[in-house]
Amino acid sequence: MRKTIGAPYLYQKRGVFYFSRRVPEDLKTHYKHPRIMISLRTRSLKAAKVKAASLVSQLDEDWLTLRWRRNESPLRRFLIDQVTEAKMKSSAPLLSEAKEIYLRIKGVDRPVTFSSAVERAINNLTDLIGDKPIDTYVRSDANMLRDSFFERGLSRGSVDRMFSTIRAAINFATRELGLPDINSFSGVYLGEEGRMPETKRLPIPLPTLRSIQSVCEQMNDEGRWLIAIISDTGMRLSEAAGLHKDDMQLNHRCPHIVLKGHPWRRLKTRGSERIIPLVGKSLWAAKRASELSKTEFLFPRYCNENGCKSNSASAALNKWLSPKVPEGCVVHSFRHSIRDRLRAVECPQDITDRLGGWTVGGVGETYGTGYPLEVLYKWMEKAVK
């Protein structure tokens, strides 16, 4: 049932807010319908008012430009045959076609999360603006997409990643096809660094960490082994979840992991490839997982030859962890904790960076073969005991 709301251009249908505005008489020939009606995809009156105000402003601008014979508004998708007209004027591929080119070539041997991220970013744009030739998108389209992301509550970092993915797909297609550069999605203002609130991950306090490790030993199952191995190594969740038995050197006098990329799980950076000493509960967990896993993967619930389901692991483990840790702490907080624990034993910063796979700077880092395993093991043992 349709319900009128005491706010301009808004009505509610089955709990969802819609925008509705009549097209002026002198502009009706430009539009398919006499009224523009859009689902705002929200049940919040506050969010609906913000979105409606944005659409009103854009329509006012659009109608002004139409009257002046200009046509560059993001609301052009409501004009008769707007997309068809764009296709007739351009020989460039549609955005959906550019996406397929990008995935077909760049997606080879990449995990399913790569293609999912590309699909998600591109679909956000085509759902909002339409699937057009890539050289017909304009800056106002990019700005409209940015605004829609922030209205949905996405963080600045998430919005930046979405735009990076869109740019990567478009830029790759233009290079492959020999087209001129397209800059509509470059340099979009996302707010000043540090001005947009970002989630700050806190380290897990040592007494809490010890308590969690004790519970992991008692439960002694795959999920707890994964938490335990992260707790005393500071590995990223995806790094640990994607481990293969061949990565483990458990019979060495200094037990360790040889962390490297795999077809089912790539590493975040080149510096992420590293030797990770196993001491404390991480050694216990590595042994249990290696002994009891019935496949070649340490954590078969979350990884196989087809890919690493780190998002599923994150959701499950964070749900279990949430009532046991302070507010703001998650699985990734173990990574912050290991850094603090290494600081507490005065571990040299370059060794700390090596152990965690953090960025290492300086010309000297390009010389030599790095620290011996025994040195890395000594510092990890000091931090963990």
Buried-state track 115-129, b at ≥16 Cβ within 10 A, e below 16: eebbeebbebbeeeb
Domain boundary (78, 107, 132) is at: 78
The residue with greater pLDDT, 195 or 120, is: 120
Residue 232: domain span: 206-362+370-384
Q: Is the residue at 195 inside a domain?
A: no
8 A C-beta contact, residue 42 and residue 51: yes
Average pLDDT over residues 22-47: 86
Q: How far apart are the C-alpha atoms of 162 and 125, rounded to whole Å?
A: 10
Tokens coding 87: 């296709």
For residue 383, pLDDT over 90 is answered with yes
Number of domains in the chain: 3
Do both 101 and 230 map to the same domain? no
Q: Is the residue at 199 inside a domain?
A: no
Do both 274 and 149 map to the same domain? no
Q: How far apart are the C-alpha atoms of 337 and 354, rounded to whole Å?
A: 16
CA atoms within 13 A on the CB side of 239: 27
Q: How many residues does the chain have?
A: 385
In this predicted model, what pLDDT tens digit does every residue of 70-89 receive, in sequence order?
445 555 556 554 544 554 56
Do both 353 and 222 map to the same domain? yes
Do both 71 and 144 map to the same domain? no
Tokens coding 330: 């998650």
Do both 251 and 155 map to the same domain? no
pLDDT given at position 76: 55
Beta bridge partners of 31: 79
Do both 290 and 337 map to the same domain? yes
pLDDT grade, residue 5 (50/70/90)?
A: low
Q: Is the residue at 197 inside a domain?
A: no
Model confidence, pTM: 0.59
Average pLDDT over residues 117-136: 89
Do both 375 and 230 map to the same domain? yes
Q: Is the residue at 196 inside a domain?
A: no
For residue 48, pLDDT over 50 is answered with yes
In this predicted model, what pLDDT tens digit does every residue of 251-270 receive, in sequence order?
999 999 999 999 888 887 77
What is the three-class DSSP state of 39? strand
The residue with greater pLDDT, 64 or 214, is: 214
